[in-house]
Structure 1
Amino acid sequence: MMSAKLWAPALTACALATSIALVGCSKDPKDAQQAADAQKMPPTEVGVIVAQPQSVEQTVELSGRTSAFQVSEVRPQTNGVILKRLFTEGSFVREGQPLYEIDPRTNNANLDSAKADLLNQQANLNALKVKTNRYRQLIGINAVSKQEYDDLVAQVKQGEAMVASAQAAVKNAQINLGYSTVRAPISGQSGRSNFTAGALVTASQADPLVTVQQLDPIYVDINQSSAELLRLRQQLSKGNIDRSNNTKVRLKLDDGSYYPIEGNLAFSDASVNQDTGTITLRAVFTNPNHLLLPGMYATAQIVQGVIPNAYLVPQIGVTRSPTGQASAMVVNAKGLAESRDIETVGTQGQNWIVTKGLNPGDKVIVDGIAKIKPGQQVSAKPYQPKAAAPQEGAKPAAQGNGAQPTQNAKPQTEQKATSHA
């Protein structure tokens, strides 16, 4: 049996060897390799745009429907049978153009009767005037009484009134005879005729003979939420938006194309619809080729004002927190990625309109955000947007001075857009 003196050095050596082994195992070779690689890796390359302040149009996209500038439901103003239709259905008719001819024989007879009554009243008046002149001579020699003369003068005045009434009856009969030809009250596009030759019509009947609509210019009725209108007015009162120019409206048709002519906002309702919480805006568009027809659905892009000193940042460069706070990554003077809280007020094309949080000359990271973290060393390169397929009818948005927003953007898009969380 080995003595205690021999065991002691052996145990000490074993303990020392075990400690050395544990110390060697505590440092993972992989971690060490990763740390060494991290020190050797170059800064992450990111695409940036240089933020420059500019005046940006603030737009809102709202749905609406077209309606005719003027609508006239043509109804007869006299009784009779339609003899013929004098226009082609669906054709353009001018104001005063004959549309229908109603049998005029009854109106002609009424006019002849009124003229005969007028002649009778004029004859009676002439007889009374001659008698009055004779009585005026006789009263000087007391051949007739004063009372008889005064009665005769009163009869003359009554005769004059009867003549005036007969003259009015003649004019009325002439007007009714004129109603035998139904004329277009306005210039516009005619619709389908509801009555044909041989139909009996009556004055002021419920059913119109035909409807005429003026389509050039044409209205577009738009609904805007009262909350959005209130927010716009608050911005105007604070001076954040310049609205010195007339409000322009662009129209996006149901097939995705854009109407080539801009319109003007002509009317804003003074009350809010209690059922929908919206107000009605009315825009006017010239429509020379009658491309727009009443009842068509369209999307109106309204330029509500101009925001001075704003920045256009591509939407892919903006993220939002769960609370909705927008932020962007910028490259600071040390070449490090830095998170910056920003404030947006809407979109233009594929860009956010940023009013707070950026300074002129800031390098906003647009490409490569998912690969970096705040405080990480980065290598900034000019952002090169990917070419997008052109859309029919779309036009590129007007770019401001110095900003480099996404190319191939639509001209104006809706006020609220889905953010990149």
Structure 2
Amino acid sequence: MTLASTANADGVLIRDQMVAGRVVEINRQSLTIDLCDGKMVEFKWEVGLTLLVNSSCVSPSRAGLAVPESCDRNAGIGFDVGFRGRADPVHSEDVAFSQKTGFHISGATEVAHGPLSQVNYVRANSGCLDNAKFVVPSDFCVEPKQFAVNFSYDAPLPNRILTRGFSFYLETSQPFREPALAELREAIRGSFGTAINIWASDLWQRRDRYDKKLSSLLDGMASHSKDGFTMFIPPQVIALACPQTATFVIRVFSDPGPFARPPQKEILAAVAATPGRTILLNFNDYPCWKNALFKYVVDDATSCVNLVPILMHELGHAFGLLHEKEEIKSIMNPVILATTPSDTDLDRLAARLMEFTTGQPPGEIPFVDEGVAVRLK
């Protein structure tokens, strides 16, 4: 490969040869750089291959590159990550980088997210790990590593909002103290998961009516025993402590915030980007919210709002569905009376999932003038 020499460059060092460019993407399998002329080159990770990250307007330097350790050659590929101003690297099971989400590093029990500018180099090693030394810069966000069944951020259909796994980051307009914050996060996670489960399992029941790609995806969520039992596993939902990799942002407002309305306007309980990945919940006008499955929309005795049908409605918006004002039993009616989708809701969603949609990114909602008004009985 021809050596490139460029200012303001990162560099890939392989077998004592330096290829200069600008890092575009990193994942566990490879890294991609732009040779600064629009040409993209992908390098597969192999032991010793090193990415030198440069934050100044000079060619990449090998300064600060620690001597590699000798590890178990049967341990597979791992990574040394050298941070600026530190002599010893951090050993990582995985690394990733994108322009949108920044740099990510993974230990045995934790993951961390932060700016690539803090990184001096990333070098593939032969599986060196030291869980006791997973120490990252203070401006990195660190959270526990989570595991879920068949979890993936892959988007299998043209509607890119639907992924094989969902994660959300919870934001609150007012501070919540523990354990209240943990309880709220878990209530939302469970309700989000139930809402996705209902949408997916009800679609599965009608899968023969839909596009073959959608039908095949739904069939892949079900496993069948020899005794005739079927287990349905919809996309799983996890709650993250860091926002960088979350596919959804859920904002809880304990003050009026975007829900402030003139007296003649209906009070909105929730709003979602349509289509998109942001959901707003109105805890100011409706301070009591619960995960009540299918029992009610609003509890007569306590006036508590059930998160499940509300999130089911808002996820319908997130996928691109609009309000259905003419259908009382629709979960997409602006005044929710139902606790599960109607058949026409399912058919509309099935059609929307086959339309190409990217939607608003997590945390962005263009305006707030439509939502769901919950009617108190």
TM-score of the aligned structures, taking structure 1 as reference length: 0.20
Q: Which has the higher contact order (CA 8 A, sep 6+)?
A: 1
TM-score of the aligned structures, taking structure 2 as reference length: 0.21
Greater percentage in strand: 1
**Greater gyration radius:** 1
Greater percentage in helix: 1
